[in-house]
Amino acid sequence: MREAFSGLYQRLTFTKVTKTVVDFEVVETEDPRFAMGVRQPLSAQKLMMKPEGQRSWKWEMIHSTPELVLSVDEVIVFGRTRYRVMEKFDWKEYGYVEYHIVQDFTST
């Protein structure tokens, strides 16, 4: 399966946002990341399976090589848009990992 996706893969450039508490204040650290993968809108069929109140949000899907490691609830930034990782599907035995991300409307 990895060979099938490899022709579609591009270099994904994004920023991983890490929040820590320093002197009782939340501090965000941005760490630039690079990975090979493809980012696309979530299919209508998968979007209909989301809770009703979340369907109008901007959902996307990332298929990437297993080297990209993200955790659920992490915040990443593509361009100027913040996304939150909502789901991770580990298909490493087939050579890829799938993430569902949603535009994050909460910011500090």
User: Of 59-63, 86-90, 102-106, which gets the smallest average pLDDT?
Assistant: 102-106
Ordered by where they begin, the domains of the chain are 2-103 (2.40.10.270)
Helix count and strand count (H, E) for the chain: 2, 6
Task: Specify the higher pLDDT residue, 17 or 50.
Answer: 17
- The model scores a pTM over 0.85: no
* Confidence at 70, pLDDT banded by 50, 70, 90: very high
- Cβ neighbors of 76 (< 8 A, separation 6 or more) are 14, 15, 16, 17, 33, 70, 82, 83, 85, 101
| CA-CA-CA-CA dihedral for 98, 37, 12, 72, to nearest 10 | 10
